[in-house]
Amino acid sequence: MNENICLILKDQTVFFKSSEDMSELEDESIDVIITSPPYNRGKIYTSDTGESHDDRMDEDEYLSFLTKIWEE
């Protein structure tokens, strides 16, 4: 995903990028996250940037993908 695309509103910034790297967010700056991650059920996702998500990972790969994001 293109890491340089974001939309800055009055008091919000919307990033159009992968959640695997959220280094632009300061540590300890988030109170709560509500998310609906990919569920690895084989759904076909499309995006405006043309990036696609593999929704049929091996279980270990899928858990590693989610763990990386939860840790971030």
Ligand X SMILES: C[S@@+](CC[C@H](N)C(=O)[O-])C[C@H]1O[C@@H](n2cnc3c(N)ncnc32)[C@H](O)[C@@H]1O
Sort residue 42 into left (φ over 0), alpha (ψ -120 to 50) or beta.
left
- The Cα–Cα gap between 11 and 60 comes to 38
- The Cα–Cα gap between 7 and 15 comes to 7
Least distance from ligand X to the Cβ atom of residue 67, Å: 13
Number of residues this chain uses to bind ligand X (CB under 6 A): 10
- The Cα–Cα gap between 69 and 64 comes to 9
Binding to ligand X by CB under 6 A, coded x per residue (else -) over 3-42, reads ---------------xxx---------------xxxx---
User: Which of 6, 45, 61, 63 touches ligand X (CB under 6 A)?
Assistant: 45
Question: Site residues (CB under 6 A) for ligand X?
Answer: 18-20, 36-39, 45, 47, 53
